[in-house]
Amino acid sequence: MQRYFTNEKLSLFEPFFISGDDFHHMSRVMRMKSGEKVYIVDKEENAFIAEVIEIGESAVKLSAQENIEKSPELPVQITIASGLPKGDKLDLIVQKATELGAFSFVPFAAERSISKWETKKVRKKIERLEKIAKEAAEQSHRTHIPTISFCESFTVLMNRLAEFDYVLLAYEESARLNETKTLVSTFEKMKPGEKLLVIFGPEGGVGDKEVKLLTQANVLFAGLGSRILRTETAPLYFLAAASYHFELEKSF
Amino acid sequence: MQRYFTNEKLSLFEPFFISGDDFHHMSRVMRMKSGEKVYIVDKEENAFIAEVIEIGESAVKLSAQENIEKSPELPVQITIASGLPKGDKLDLIVQKATELGAFSFVPFAAERSISKWETKKVRKKIERLEKIAKEAAEQSHRTHIPTISFCESFTVLMNRLAEFDYVLLAYEESARLNETKTLVSTFEKMKPGEKLLVIFGPEGGVGDKEVKLLTQANVLFAGLGSRILRTETAPLYFLAAASYHFELEKSF
């Protein structure tokens, strides 16, 4: 079944309209007819099965038929802070981590980032990633579309730590030293709705100054298993581990 | 146990000395005696358990007793059977799943595979994937290079099931139906060295005939969390969950 988002709040059996690009997609691309059913996620992230009532000139009229109860969202909010990696790796991170349940993304200019974002290009780069996140959210049947915000320096990122209940650094050295307890014990402590920020370095890892600042801020350093993961693979590991912990083992 | 670093390269059972601040810490702060044990990480980042031989005037003499550098391999052998996906997605699966600890790969021609492997091209395609696996194994500091073998039909894959201690199907419908227990309970049962095969459908999912055959073979169907994962993302989820379970939670 096709899946669409609306900025309205929906109520069961009350008609609503979809226009713009999604109207085009429904009427021209999918050639939908009255009676067909689609998934709709409303602005409060509730998911419904809705029936097409009528295809109009510039909008589709629908009616929400059924509220889909089970949330496709992780019970905790995980924000992925990635030191700007090379090439188009951030595209892969945002696409795959959105499928795996990331709540939001904070790319940041890291000490060892080779890739740079020129100030005048930031808006365009964020819009590109937002589009990737939206498409991946639709594809994976999520109700929340992850947001993207850029930190132009590590200091700006440090100033945001207080927004989160937990902050972890995914640290390559911790994996080397066989650190296995931090991730499990952090997940064990977390309650539904709590917010976690996890920081990943770029290709060269986190820099010495960054490690020092994070240590001073009492951020915990977590190992992610026994292998060295690439900068674009580590966030995917982290989110899959969170899903395994919160959705399969505990399922609260 | 206390943990110290040395700038030397250590060898098992060869005595070495620690002086300076760490000598002070060991002798005065910790008041260590001969026979006590400490963790030592050497300049090549190998970790050892070392025994204090003698506390001298300005240095502690120790001997490395045991190399505790953990194996970079998952304690269980996980084989990824992927229904041939479109385009170059298999490259991504093999690269990332190798980083995440896959033991071997079995691409198979699935009922719903749009991509086909012509018989005369199979050798070349496998060689390409072997090269990707080797490079990813090096990159992630693994000691095992995953092998690749092709099954030209689902029947050939079915005939191989007996090679494994456990066989699971990663089933999209199981996720939809909120199946959460199969993966956890399978991992709970597994002992070090045991072999698990996990089967993933191509883009369209596993076919009805395949589901029927697997059901007849008593293969269990496992859900992988609350979101719909793409065919190339699901194996990465599976391996990260295995690492979290076997390396972080249990660490046997």
Average pLDDT over residues B47-59: 92
Block residue for tokens 């139906």: B177
- At residue B139 the predicted structure's pLDDT band, cuts being 50, 70 and 90, is confident
Q: What is the per-residue pLDDT across B173-193, written as a single tens digit (0 to 9) for each?
A: 776 666 788 999 999 999 999
Query: Rounded to an integer, what distance in angstroms lies between the CA atom of residue B186 and that of residue A92?
Result: 30
- Quick one: B126 and B62 in the same domain? no
> Which residues does chain B have within 8 Å of residue A101's beta carbon, measured at their own beta carbons?
225-227
- Quick one: B134 and B19 in the same domain? no
- At residue B140 the predicted structure's pLDDT band, cuts being 50, 70 and 90, is confident
pLDDT score at B82 = 98
CATH number at residue B117: 3.40.1280.10
- Quick one: B121 and B216 in the same domain? yes
- Quick one: A114 and A229 in the same domain? yes
> Which residues does chain B have within 8 Å of residue A72's beta carbon, measured at their own beta carbons?
226-228
- Quick one: B172 and B237 in the same domain? yes
- Quick one: A83 and A205 in the same domain? yes
Q: Do B227 and A176 touch (CB under 8 A)?
A: no
- Quick one: A102 and A209 in the same domain? yes
Average pLDDT over residues B147-171: 96
pLDDT score at B42 = 84
How many percent of chain B have pLDDT more than 90?
77
Q: What is the per-residue pLDDT across A16-37, written as a single tens digit (0 to 9) for each?
A: 999 999 999 999 999 999 999 9
- Mind telling me how many Å the CA of B119 is from chain A's nearest CA? 32
Q: Do B142 and A227 touch (CB under 8 A)?
A: yes
pLDDT score at B117 = 95
Query: Rounded to an integer, what distance in angstroms lies between the CA atom of residue A21 and that of residue B199?
Result: 37
A2 touches chain B (CB under 8 A): no
Q: How many residues does chain A have?
A: 252
pLDDT score at A179 = 80
pLDDT score at B69 = 64
H or E segment at A190?
none
> Would the pLDDT of A68 be above 90?
no
Count of domains forming chain B: 2
- Mind telling me how many Å the CA of A108 is from chain B's nearest CA? 23
- Quick one: B63 and B81 in the same domain? no
> Which residues does chain A have within 8 Å of residue B236's beta carbon, measured at their own beta carbons?
96, 233, 236-237, 240
Q: Do A248 and B223 touch (CB under 8 A)?
A: yes
> Would the pLDDT of A247 be above 80?
yes
Question: For an interface test with A, which of B249, B250, B251, B252 has the most A Cβ atoms less than 10 Å from its Cβ?
Answer: B249
- At residue B41 the predicted structure's pLDDT band, cuts being 50, 70 and 90, is confident
pLDDT score at B4 = 85
- At residue A71 the predicted structure's pLDDT band, cuts being 50, 70 and 90, is confident
DSSP state letters, chain B:
--EEE-SSPP-TT-EEEEEHHHHHIIIIIS---TT-EEEEE-TT--EEEEEEEEE-SSEEEEEEEEE-PPPSS-SSEEEEEEB--STTHHHHHHHHHHHTT--EE--B--TT--S---GGGHHHHHHHHHHHHHHHHHHTT-S-PPEE--BSSHHHHHTTGGG-SEEEEE-HHHHHTT--HHHHHHHHH--TT-EEEEEE--TT-S-HHHHHHHHHTTPEEE--SSSPPPTTTHHHHHHHHHHIIIIIIS--
pLDDT score at A44 = 80
> Would the pLDDT of A176 be above 80?
no
> Would the pLDDT of A53 be above 60?
yes
Q: Which whole-number Å values give the CA distances from B169 to B29, B31, B159, B221, in the listed order?
A: 56, 57, 15, 5
- Mind telling me how many Å the CA of A96 is from chain B's nearest CA? 7
β-pair partners for B47: B41
Partner residue opposite B140 with nearest CB, options A72, A229, A241? A229
Partner residue opposite A225 with nearest CB, options B47, B224, B247? B247
3-state secondary structure of A250: coil
Phi, psi (rounded to 5 degrees) for A74: -55, 145
Residues B142, A227 contacting (CB under 8 angstroms): yes
Residues A11, A64 contacting (CB under 8 angstroms): yes
Residue A17: domain span: 3-68
Q: Do A101 and B47 touch (CB under 8 A)?
A: no
Block residue for tokens 């009922």: B111
How many percent of chain A have pLDDT more than 90?
81
Q: What is the per-residue pLDDT across B91-129, written as a single tens digit (0 to 9) for each?
A: 999 999 999 999 999 999 999 999 999 999 999 999 999
Query: Rounded to an integer, what distance in angstroms lies between the CA atom of residue A117 and that of residue A34?
Result: 47
Block residue for tokens 């190798």: B98
Task: Give the residue on A whose Cα is nearest the Cα of B242.
Answer: A241
